[in-house]
Amino acid sequence: MIEIAAARPVATVRIDPRTVEQILLNLATNARDAMPDGGTLRIAVEDVTLDAAYVTAHPGATPGAHVCVTVTDSGTGMDEETRRHAFEPFFTTKPSGKGTGLGLPMVYGLTKQQHGFVDLTSTPGRGTVVRLYFPAVAEAPHPPPKRVSTELLRGGSETILLVEDDTPLRTSAHRVLTAFGYTVLTAEDGLVALGIYRAHHGRIDLVISDVVMPRMGGPQLYEALSKEAGPVKFIFVSGYGGRYAKARGALGHAIPFLQKPWQLNEFLTTVRRVLDG
Per-residue pLDDT reduced to its tens digit, 198-227: 999 889 999 999 998 999 999 999 999 999
> Do residues 127 and 138 lie in contact, with contact meaning Cβ atoms separated by under 8 Å?
no
pLDDT score of 150: 40
pLDDT score of 96: 46
In this structure, the answer to whether residues 128 and 18 fall within a common structural domain is yes
Residue 31 makes CB contacts below 8 A (sequence gap 6+) with: 39, 41, 71, 73, 75, 128
In this structure, the answer to whether residues 139 and 168 fall within a common structural domain is no
In this structure, the answer to whether residues 134 and 176 fall within a common structural domain is no
Instruction: Specify the CATH number for the domain of residue 11.
Output: 3.30.565.10
> Do residues 207 and 193 lie in contact, with contact meaning Cβ atoms separated by under 8 Å?
yes
In this structure, the answer to whether residues 14 and 130 fall within a common structural domain is yes
In Å, how far are 74, 79, 125, 183, 240 from 22, measured between CA atoms?
A: 21, 26, 27, 24, 32
pLDDT score of 226: 92
Tell me the pTM.
Answer: 0.53
Chain centroid, CA 95 distance in Å: 19
Domain count for the chain: 2
pLDDT score of 276: 93
Choose the final residue of a domain: 107, 124, 145: 145
In this structure, the answer to whether residues 247 and 272 fall within a common structural domain is yes
pLDDT beneath 50: ranges in the chain = 96-101, 144-152, 247-250
pLDDT score of 157: 92
d(CA 118, CA 137): 18
Q: Using alpha carbons, select from 160, 133, 143, 144 the residue that is nearest to residue 232.
A: 160
d(CA 167, CA 161): 15
